[in-house]
Every structure is written in structure tokens, then in C-alpha cells.
Amino acid sequence: MTQEKIYLHDIPLPEAQSRFIDALEKASLWGPLQAEEIPIDQALGRVTAEPIWARSSSPHYHAAAMDGFALRSKDTSKASDRSPITLEIPSHALYVDTGDAMPTWADAVIPIENVEPIEAHVDRHNWKALRLRKSLAPWTNVRPMGEDMVATELVLPAGQIVRPVDIGVIAGSGHRSVRVWRKPRVAILPTGTELVPLGTHAEPGEIPEFNSLVLAAQVESWGGLAERFPIIPDDFNRIREAAIKAAQGNDLVLINAGSSAGSEDYTANVIESIGHVLVHGIAVRPGHPVILGMVDVGTGETVADSIRQVPVIGVPGYPVSAALTGEIFVEPLLAKWLGVPHRERQTIQAVMTRKVHSSLGDDEYLRVTLGKVGDRVVAAPLSRGAGVITSLVRADGIVRIPSGVQGLQAGEQVNVHLYRPSLDIEHTILIQGSHDLTIDLIAQYLSYRGARLSSANLGSLGGLIALKRQESHLAGSHLLDPETGEYNISYIKEYLPDVPVIVVALIFREQGLMLPKGNPKAIRNLSDLTREDVIFINRQRGAGTRVLLDYHLKDMGISNETIRGYEREEFTHLAVAAAVSSGLADCGLGIHAAAAALGLDFLGLFQERYDLVIPKTHYESSLLTPLLEILKDQDFRQAVDVLPGYDTSIMGEIIATIG
Amino acid sequence: MTQEKIYLHDIPLPEAQSRFIDALEKASLWGPLQAEEIPIDQALGRVTAEPIWARSSSPHYHAAAMDGFALRSKDTSKASDRSPITLEIPSHALYVDTGDAMPTWADAVIPIENVEPIEAHVDRHNWKALRLRKSLAPWTNVRPMGEDMVATELVLPAGQIVRPVDIGVIAGSGHRSVRVWRKPRVAILPTGTELVPLGTHAEPGEIPEFNSLVLAAQVESWGGLAERFPIIPDDFNRIREAAIKAAQGNDLVLINAGSSAGSEDYTANVIESIGHVLVHGIAVRPGHPVILGMVDVGTGETVADSIRQVPVIGVPGYPVSAALTGEIFVEPLLAKWLGVPHRERQTIQAVMTRKVHSSLGDDEYLRVTLGKVGDRVVAAPLSRGAGVITSLVRADGIVRIPSGVQGLQAGEQVNVHLYRPSLDIEHTILIQGSHDLTIDLIAQYLSYRGARLSSANLGSLGGLIALKRQESHLAGSHLLDPETGEYNISYIKEYLPDVPVIVVALIFREQGLMLPKGNPKAIRNLSDLTREDVIFINRQRGAGTRVLLDYHLKDMGISNETIRGYEREEFTHLAVAAAVSSGLADCGLGIHAAAAALGLDFLGLFQERYDLVIPKTHYESSLLTPLLEILKDQDFRQAVDVLPGYDTSIMGEIIATIG
């Protein structure tokens, strides 16, 4: 069976949402599911299904609030420092511990440390009388009945997510159990002949299946119960069979993927065969091939009146699209079913570091990383690929670019929906510029110290420009000045004339050609790049490695145009290494360590210095203290030293103070 | 066995914390516990014990990013709208689905919708050739190997709390399991002869035990595993035995309570007998009788070298003290053991509504409720009683008043450590003023609509003053003008001359004397309050009920001084009812419903109107919309109507627009 339609019809997100909600409302599914009664020791994190009214008062009797003697306050009215009074025990004073019930005749407690025995050296439980030098007002040091809670009082509203202290008031007001909304059950069906289970060796064209893990974890974190089905191949009947089974036992079914309109995309047809498709295609990026539908299922027996409707979502296959579809459709639905208001994420104002184009027709969810630089929070856009799940992991938040808007300008003020507490943003060090493996290690060592590093790879020159725009705290840079043979200084003077900076040496490292194992094309030097049979892979403009290459090419009189692949750019050493490793290119210029990481051969050509360029204001801030400390950490130096081609002998040295 | 010491020696909180940390460091317990390897489908919420480096690249091959035809980009260089080119299948173009591996000879994919078949009406899998009118750059619509992750790359740092998308990158980078820090095990030992299990009938002097539930839920919510022990009576040997057993099987032991220095407080002695007490008494309120100690335990066998040290905390018995001790000592320790940075709660600036005195010697943790009124966030102090756990439930945050400070002034700017997201604060309606049972019901109905009501009982006049100071959004008021016989209007004109307000009627309700069941003292009218054998309980100054009482007493020529108990004040109708119900007083003036709630007799005397006083700016704000809607809600009106003595006939009517 193949499908008829080839094109999806994308509709705007708000329209898709309202069609879905309408259908849920019609099926009486746009509200909390059933309530269930659970013991309070299992109530943490659950949602109260009804208000909690106090059954008993707390305290349920007048209680001594101190260890001391209970007495009648009026008996003490004449006591003073100069004229102590004596009270007989037990007729006029009685020892009580904190929490003891007050004798019915008493209305105050005098703390043990404020009384004197008549006879010294007698245990206070055997005193016959006591002396006191202080008058007490009625009800001093007494917790009257109902001080905390009075029976019949509202102690907790419905719709409250139960916290530890809430368990205290529920129990303290006389309840042993609590009615909460039951957890929604969500079935997750991974489909696709190309999918292989995690841990299986994956051939080219085969994809390890992990979206179901992400979706299940989302469901759990939103208060639901997830059931992961085994992988189902692209087969209409098998998917249909699994979908029916899933719908019978669950409140919601997620079919991942087959939600597009390719030759092997069966999700829409499956839904149509057991219910109906409400929406197929939504103008939102990433994520547009989303299907929303509603199917009818029995309980498994064919009793007509037990048929119920179950929503089904066809979740796109790309991991970022899948996770965002969860956030956009599953999270609000689970909130509704759990009776909690679906609150938008906290937002923060930030300034875009770069221009971003966006399709006019789509709502775009742009992932950004954030840092507070000076007084401003800056937002650096991350990869927009729907398959780049690392971008979602690295994201501090999402900027929504609505349809009808063509994009964002650099410097534009945007609203960021936060993935992390805003406090974390304030503790984040933002480094932009050239990428080096050491940066990953710094991130790692910072995490041991409770600090966070966020990095964006812009190349060395991009990093200096970001500093100029006050968009990062520091930059990694290895820009060779062809005139002086010196690194970074002349560029800093040119690009950051008004910014006082400290230049701190990080490492020396070896640059050279990364080559496939065994160097099958026998590449020996830069001149070989001009050979007809050699495909090169380049770094982006402004990258220090690119500057280095161009410097040497010019020096050797080699024209760019004679190099095949010169125009294809990658943004990191590892990306270049990956391109060589995969056969995309025959060689690329990069560092020894990246070649070693992917098991490539390496032809060393130059040694270069890589510096950290740090504006003075940030250099002196407490934010950067842990980073500067790490440069002196012997463990860290050792971890860098073992990277092939690395030399830490100058690490931490101040190369220059400029401005 | 009784204890020697009677006085605790309170030391400052920072000193207590550093003694505890020193001892933990010496025992090598101030850092993460052991790591354990778990399957990634169980990793949600756990903390990575080591960095995750990619084992494989993702994608691990060059993948088609669209459904379409793979081809050589250079073959398309001359294609245009006017001069389409034709590519033969399968030698020069090959159909691929999204995610398929690229043929080794191809370097671009043209989407299916941009090509034309040579013969129409043939399934695309059977095409012999295709026509296209567009040139493609190399790598168009191809996801190169490693686009998302390159093998050896850092994908997740150590110390990361695993989120759903993190599970995606861990799995996507080739891992099936992940090393996380194991969960700390915490034993919780409720001790006290006065404690009875929840659900047991509690006699006066007996206390239902629920602190262990709160502490266990805290431990769970901070990532630990809690083990609750059964209640242990105040018996040195039995507590010691349980403490040893608890320490053997756990990383931390909480003994609750017996941490003070009363005659039945054994915790310090127990700790001394199996280890040593580091701190006994901390200058922090609530919570000061805290014990910090360290005990030595074997594994149960007597092997000398397997002896390890286990921290023990003596947790005070009052519920608020217990919960705060958890926050101050247990939460940071668990964070340390779990390898996550212990972040302070988010803070917010707020303005104190009332003056608060604080002891010079103590750090005080003052619970406050918050609301955003106009541009300011205001903080209203809640009950400071260590036994009033409802204050912790109602708290939106904590203001820390450091030792050395005598208190806070009304209007003072304070830093509030938030218990709720600051977004919740912006959605909170703050009502201060007179208390009425309807307010609880409004809170309840608002929670159904996803809104939140926070209330403080200041009495009617206090409510108007709070409006004047812009400290709440609305006030409940029932102030009778003795001159005019009218409610509220003249008071509003006097106290809020510059604030335009809308007065909305809420209800009519019956006021009268609340009496013990059967009216044993045969009280018939207000004159009986002057009888020698009658003890009255009053409402606070400024309360509408107090104004009503004073009005009628004056009218009847009765002097306050002839009424026993006139000086004892309660802040709510229910508190007055509780006082009567418990025998603290013989009668009190209040509403019929409060008497009925506690099963009291009621002697109706007057009917009065209770209004909502709402400044115009708030009346028109979207914040109050749901509240005003509720006044028209038939369900809500019915719920109020069934309260004894209530009449909703005028609910929602605008009584006056003033200013």
C-alpha cells in the first residue's frame, strides 16, 4: 500500500491547536481525567483533585509551647523581681513538656529557666513548690487549639501540585489519603524500517532509535506514565494493529514517525482507518510534518457503548522536531488532564548576537544559548537543523519567530522562553570564537566547580567581533599576523581599539593536514592540494586555521581556485576531521588532536599559539575566577597535555595587556 | 536516664554550617557519593557522574535530508527554468527517503516536488529518468556524517541533571547506559512518646506524627531515597538502637525530635554515645534546637576497618522548624552528595507591608506571601509560629532577617527567596482585609480557573489601609458606620480619599454569638457578656465584627471593662469559634457559618453586608477578571448559599463607584 497524497498542507500553529482542542472538547477529553485516592506518603508531585478541608484542628487541644510549668496567669499578677511569689505543686503549677496538653485549670506556661525551686538540688519532677518573679499574661507560651488549622477550614486548593510541606498540612488536618488526578497514560510507538534498537550495530541508512526514550522521559517529567512499544517496521497493517492496541490501553498515542508524506509514511492513513485526521502538517519549524488525529477504540471486546475516543499524534522523526512536538502538543494536554494550569515558561529579554532569516509562512522555534554580558543578556542562535539534538541540549531557551516575520536582526531585542532558571544564565560563562578541544575540557572542569561554560564557534575573528559587540565574556583566538608573524595582538588592536583586554596564553598546538588512515592519495604538502584527484575541505572565513592556510598558500603562490573543495566550509576541527573520515574530502587543515580523535593520519605542518582574549572588566569579575583557576589546575593541564600535538608550557601566562 | 544540661548553647548558623562541613570533609563525605551505571531509560532526573563523550557520530553516515532524488550536484550546474536537464535513473539519480544513506557517488538531494518524470502517470519508483530545472550546490539537502555529534566530542558534562533531551544525546552518541551518582539514602526516625501514627485517634497531649512524611518527601524531591522508621518512644536505649540500625544502612540519619534539652530529649545523648555532637543549638528561628553530629558505625559485623562515619541531624519537633532544618542542612548535603551545585533559590525584591520585630541574636526565616500590586511586589508576613505549618504552605517565599538586625520596617525593601516561580506571583490576586468563609471558596473556584488567591486577615480597616498603601488588589470589608447605618462607604471616603474604588457586594451574612453546644451558661444577649461567669473572646481592633460589637455595646451602655476576655483577640471567625469550641471562652461574636462549621450553637443578633472593595485600576485589570466572573458563577453562588446564615441575593452588584 502506498499513499496518495504527496504534499502536506501546512496550517498555522494556532489553527492546529484549536482544531485539536475542539476535538478533545467534543470527546469530553479537554479537562482532568478521573480522580483516584492515594495514601499521602505517595502524594509528592501529584495534583489535588479537590480542595482539602481540615477534618480536625491542629493542635486539637491547648498545648504547652515550652518545657516549663503550667499555671493560672491570674496567680502571677503580683509577681516581680523584688517580690517573688510561690506556687504549690501540683495544685497551682504542674510541670509540662512542650506539646503536652494544658491542665484544664491552667492558661499559661512559665519556661523552666524562669523559675526557682523552693528546695535546691531536687529533681524538678519532685519539686513541692516553685518561686517566680514575673507575671504572665493569659495564654503565654500556650498554643491554643486550632492555632495552625481549624477543622472545616480550606487548607489546600484543588489543582495544587503537592509539595513536601503540603503533605504536612494534609496529614496535619486529619487526612491519611488524598484524592489526586490519575496519571495520564501515554503510548509511544517508534515506527520505521530504518530504525534499529539502541546498542545494535547500525549500518549506513540505519538509525538507532532513541526518540521514544526522549518522548517517554518528557511524558514522565510532565506527570504522565509512558509505555514504549517495540520498533514497528513501515507496514500499514502492523502499525495499525499496534495503534489500536496502544489506544485501548492508553489515554494518548504518539506514533513516531511516518508523519510526513513520503512513500513509507503510513501514520496518517493508519489514523484515518481507525478514526480521523484533524491536522496533517503545521507551519512550524522545526516540526512541520505533525499529524493530529482522534481514533475510536473499544476496550478490546466489541461492546458498542464502551467505545471511547483517543487522541493520536503523529510525531515527526527528526529528534528536535519530535521533542518540540512534545512540548507544543503533549505538555499542555497532560497539564490539562492533570488539572494544573499550563504555564508558559519564564521569559527573559535578550539581545540577538546575529541576524537570523526565517520563513515568512512558519512559526519558528529558534534555539539560543544565553549569557549575561555586562548588563545585557545576549542570545546566540544555535544550529537550526531539525536533526541536531545537541542544539536542544545546549539551548538555554527558545526564541519564537512568528509567521509573518522574516527574521531577526543582530542587536534586536527578543523574548526568550527559558529552559533553565534565569539564575543559571547569570552563572554562565559565554565564550565565542575559535574552537579548540581544550574548550570542551574547560567546560568539563568548570562543571566540577559548579560553573557553566557555553560556547559558540564563530572562528577567531568572529570571536573578536563578538567581544567588540559585548556579546561574550571571552574569545578563543589564534590569528596569525602575516606581517609580524605574531598571534592575535594586531587583530585585537584593529578590531577592539576601545576595549581594554588581557591576552592569556592557553596552549601551543600543531596544525597540519588530516588525512585518511594510510594516506591513500599520498599527500605530502600543501602543494598537493592543487592535484586534480585531491578534494580538500576548508574552514570558514575568519577562522584562524583559514587565515593560516591562506597565509601559507599566498606565500607559496598557490591560488584558491586551483583547490577543489576550497569553497566547502566547516566550523570546527572535528567537523573537518569527520568530513575526511567519512570520505567526503581527502584532506583538511586542522589540529593533530582532532585527527587523532577520529583515527586519521596527520601531517604536521605548523605550530601555533591559541590564546584566550578577555576584556579587562570580565577578567576581573568573579564569574571568570573559576575559569582562570582551572588554567593553574595540574589535573587540567595534564588532561590537555595528553592531547596529541598539545603543549601547555605557557598556559595561563599573560601575553599582553592592551588598552 | 535523664539529661544533665538544661540550656542549649545556640551558636550562629554560619558557624554551625562550617563545623558540620569540616566534620564531613574529615570523614571524606563532603563530595559526591559513589557512581553507578544505569540504563539510560532510567536516567531522567539523575546526575551524570562523568562527562559523556560521543562514542559514535550522528548521523554516522551521509544521510538524505529530504525525500527526493540523490544526484551529483555538478550534473545540475546548467539546469534552469528555461533549459531543464534530464538525469537517467539509477545511474545519475536515485530515489531516497529522508534518512537514507546517500549513494557514494551522490552529493546532493533534489526534493521530490522539484522534479518531473519523463513519462507521466508512472509511480516514482519506476521512473526511468527525471527532469529538473534547478542547479544544486554540493551537499544541498544532505546531512553530512557528524552534523549533530562527532565521535569523541563532549556531549554532556558531569554534574548535569539529566533532562529528556539529554537522554537523546546520550543515546544518540552511542551509549546505552550512563554513570550517575547514586542516590543518597536517608533514614528518618520519628521519636516521641506523645506521637501517634496518622489515622489513630489522638487524645489531648497526643500528636499525629507527620513530620517524617514531610522530611521523606523533601529527601525524595532533592534526589535521595528516604527510609521512614516506625515511631520510637522517648527511651534512650530504643532510640540508640534504632539510630545504630539506621546509620548502618544509610548515608544520613534524621532523628525527629528530642533535639531540645527537655527531660525527655535524648537525641544529643544518643549521638554522644555512638559518636559525637558537633553542634547543639543554632541561633536560627524557627528551628533553633538543632543537633548536628557524626556517629561511627560498622556494617553490622564487628570488622574494625569497615567502620564508617555517618552524619546525624537532630531535627526539631515543630513542623515548620523541621521543614526548615531540612532546607538548611539536608538539601545542601544531598546536593553535594549528588554532585550538583547547590543553587540558592531565586530571589525577588519586595516591599514589606508590615513592621516585623526580630531577635537580635538569631537569623530569622520569615515566611511571607507575595503579590504584584501595580509595579511593586509586596511581601505580607505570615504567622511566625514554629508550629504553624500552614504558614509554610501559604508562603511564597522567605525573607532572611540576619542576626544583628532588630527587624524590618513597613515599606522596607527586602530580598525574598522564592518558593514559587516568579510567574506565579504575577498571577496571584492578593486580598487583605476582613476574613469571610466565602474568600476560601473564591480561592477554590479561582484554582479551577488556573488563578491563585492569596489572603491575609487584617480586619476590615486593615484591608482599607493596605489598599491605600497599594499593598493588595482588593479588600473584604464590613464596616458599619454608626452614624449612617451604612456599610463601608464612609470609611472608604475617609481612608482612601485619593483612590478611585468600586465597591462590589459579596454577601449578606448573620452575625451573632457563638456558644458551646446546648448553651450551658444560658447566654441570651449581649448584656450577658458582663456576667462574672462568662468569658468572652474578642476580634482584633479594626475588624468589622469588633466595630459591630463596640457599636452595640455603646448603644446599650455597656463598658468594655465589664467584659471578661474583651482584651483577648483572635483574627478570624474560625479562630473565635475554635476558642469557644475548646472551652477557652464561653462565647464570641462571629458569623453563623463559623459556628456551624465547628458544631457550636449560634444566637443570631444582626444581619450585615460584606463587600469587596476594589481600586478601579485593579477592577479593570485582567488579573481580577476570573474573580469577577466567579461572582456570576451559579455553582459558586450555590456553594455560598448553603453556608448557614448566608444570602447571595446581592452578590456582584456594584454598590458604589467612589472617586
Give the integer Cα–Cα distance in Å for B242 and B227. Answer: 12
Tell me how crowded residue B237 is: count the other CB atoms within 10 A of its CB.
Answer: 11
- Per-residue 3-state assignment (H helix, E strand, C coil) for B341-393: CCCCCCEEEEEECCCEECCCCCEEEEEEEEEEECCEEEEEECCCCCCCHHHHH
Q: Is A422 on the interface with B (CB under 8 A)?
A: yes
Q: How far, in whole angstroms, is CA B484 from its chain's centroid?
A: 45
Cell reading at A30? 479537554
Residue-by-residue DSSP string for B189-255 = EEB-TTEE-TTS---TT-EE--HHHHHHHHHHHTT-EEEEPPPB-S-HHHHHHHHHHHHHH-SEEEE
- The residue type found at B478 is H
Taking phi first (over 0 means left), then psi (-120 to 50 degrees means alpha), and beta for anything else, what does residue B255 get? beta
Interchain proximity A582–B146, CB inside 8 Å: yes
Give the integer Cα–Cα distance in Å for B591 and B646. Answer: 9
Cell reading at A362? 512558519
Chain B residues whose CB is inside 8 A of the A343 CB are 421, 423-424, 427
- How much is the pLDDT for A343? 75
- The residue type found at A425 is I
Q: How far, in whole angstroms, is CA B111 from its chain's centroid?
A: 52
Residue-by-residue DSSP string for A384-404 = --TT-HHHHHH-SEEEEE-TT
Cell reading at B146? 557528524
Query: Which residue, A505, A471, A477, is CA-closest to A491?
Result: A477
Residue B253 has pLDDT above 90, yes or no: yes
Phi, psi (deg, nearest 5) at residue A64: -65, 135
B2-17: average pLDDT: 72
Q: Is B57 on the interface with A (CB under 8 A)?
A: yes
Q: What is the model's pTM?
A: 0.89
Give the integer Cα–Cα distance in Å for A155 and A407. Answer: 49
- How much is the pLDDT for B299? 62
Residue B399 is inside which H or E element, if any?
Answer: strand B397-401
- How much is the pLDDT for B9? 79
Query: Which residue, B503, B501, B558, B564, is CA-closest to B531?
Result: B564
When mean pLDDT is compared over A304-318, B416-430, B608-622, the highest value belongs to: B608-622
Q: Is B633 on the interface with A (CB under 8 A)?
A: no
Residue B404 has pLDDT above 70, yes or no: yes
Interchain proximity B194–A100, CB inside 8 Å: yes
- How much is the pLDDT for B440? 87
Cα separation values, B580 from A145, B18, B284, B574, Å: 10, 48, 34, 10
- How much is the pLDDT for A582? 82
Residues contacting A454, CB < 8 A, separation 6+? A369, A370, A371, A394, A396, A428, A429, A430, A431
- The residue type found at B639 is A
* pLDDT band per the 50, 70, 90 thresholds, residue B6: very low
First to last CA, chain A: 71
- Asked if B268 and B191 count as a contact pair (C-beta separation under 8 A), the reply is no
Give the integer Cα–Cα distance in Å for B256 and B319. Answer: 10
Among A7, A60, A171, select the one facing B210 at the smallest CB separation: A171
- How much is the pLDDT for A302? 56
Buried b (16+ CB within 10 A) or exposed e, B83-112: eebebebeebbbbbbbbbbbbeebbbbbeb
DSSP tag of A343? P
Cα separation values, B134 from A595, B107, B110, B296, B471, Å: 37, 15, 9, 78, 67
Cell 503533549 locates to A330
Q: Is A37 on the interface with B (CB under 8 A)?
A: no
- Asked if B475 and B644 count as a contact pair (C-beta separation under 8 A), the reply is no
What is chain A's Cα-based Rg? 35
Query: Which residue, A579, A581, A591, is CA-closest to A544?
Result: A591
Tell me how crowded residue B416 is: count the other CB atoms within 10 A of its CB.
Answer: 25
Residue ranges in A203-355 assigned as alpha helix (H): 211-221, 236-249, 267-274, 319-325, 331-337
Chains A and B form CB pairs within 8 A to the count of: 330
pLDDT in tens, B100-142: 999 988 889 999 888 888 876 777 778 889 999 989 987 889 8
Among A2, A65, A67, select the one facing B262 at the smallest CB separation: A67
Q: Tell me the shortest Cα–Cα distance from A212 to chain B, in angstroms.
A: 9
* pLDDT band per the 50, 70, 90 thresholds, residue B305: low
Question: Nearest 5 degrees, angle CA B213-CA B218-CA B224?
Answer: 110
Cell reading at A484? 609580524
* pLDDT band per the 50, 70, 90 thresholds, residue B69: very high
Q: How far, in whole angstroms, is CA A516 from its chain's centroid?
A: 37
Give the integer Cα–Cα distance in Å for A326 and A400. Answer: 16
Cα separation values, A571 from A383, A543, B58, B208, B509, Å: 11, 8, 16, 64, 74
Q: How far, in whole angstroms, is CA B55 from its chain's centroid?
A: 41
Give the integer Cα–Cα distance in Å for A236 and B491. Answer: 75
Residue B3 has pLDDT above 60, yes or no: no
Extended strands (E) in B419-560 = 428-433, 452-457, 475-477, 501-515, 536-539
- Asked if A279 and A290 count as a contact pair (C-beta separation under 8 A), the reply is yes
Interchain proximity A582–B62, CB inside 8 Å: yes
Q: Tell me the shortest Cα–Cα distance from A651 to chain B, in angstroms.
A: 22
- Asked if A396 and A420 count as a contact pair (C-beta separation under 8 A), the reply is yes
When mean pLDDT is compared over A532-546, A557-571, B30-44, B448-462, the highest value belongs to: B30-44
Residue B266 burial (C-beta neighbours within 10 Å; 0-12, 13-18, 19+): buried
Chain B residues whose CB is inside 8 A of the A457 CB are none
- How much is the pLDDT for A644? 85
Buried b (16+ CB within 10 A) or exposed e, A221-235: bbbbebbbbebbebe
The tally of CA atoms less than 13 A away on the side-chain side of residue A422 is 19
Residue B264 has pLDDT above 80, yes or no: no
B33-61: average pLDDT: 93
Interchain proximity A421–B346, CB inside 8 Å: yes
3-state SS class at A130: strand
Q: Are strands B308-315 and B356-357 parallel, antiparallel or unpaired?
A: unpaired
- The residue type found at A577 is A
Chain B residues whose CB is inside 8 A of the A218 CB are 164
Cell reading at B488? 463601608
Ranges of chain A with pLDDT below 50: 1-7
Q: Are strands B154-156 and B52-53 parallel, antiparallel or unpaired?
A: antiparallel
Among A150, A213, A262, select the one facing B67 at the smallest CB separation: A262
Among B150, B202, B213, select the one facing A167 at the smallest CB separation: B213
Q: Are strands A115-117 and A85-88 parallel, antiparallel or unpaired?
A: unpaired
Residue B254 has pLDDT above 80, yes or no: yes
For chain B, the average pLDDT equals 91
Residue-by-residue DSSP string for A145-191 = TTSSB-TT-EEE-TTPBPPHHHHHHHHHTT-SEEEEEPPPEEEEEEB
Cell reading at A56? 480536625
Cell reading at A116? 526557682
Q: Tell me the shortest Cα–Cα distance from B653 to chain A, in angstroms.
A: 26
First to last CA, chain B: 71
Residues contacting B343, CB < 8 A, separation 6+? A421, A423, A424
Q: Is B164 on the interface with A (CB under 8 A)?
A: yes
Q: What's the sign of the alpha-carbon dihedral A461, A466, A469, A470?
A: negative
Interchain proximity B578–A59, CB inside 8 Å: no
- Asked if A156 and A166 count as a contact pair (C-beta separation under 8 A), the reply is yes
Residue A306 burial (C-beta neighbours within 10 Å; 0-12, 13-18, 19+): exposed
In B288-347, the residues whose Cβ lies within 8 Å of chain A are 317, 319, 323, 326, 341, 343-344, 346
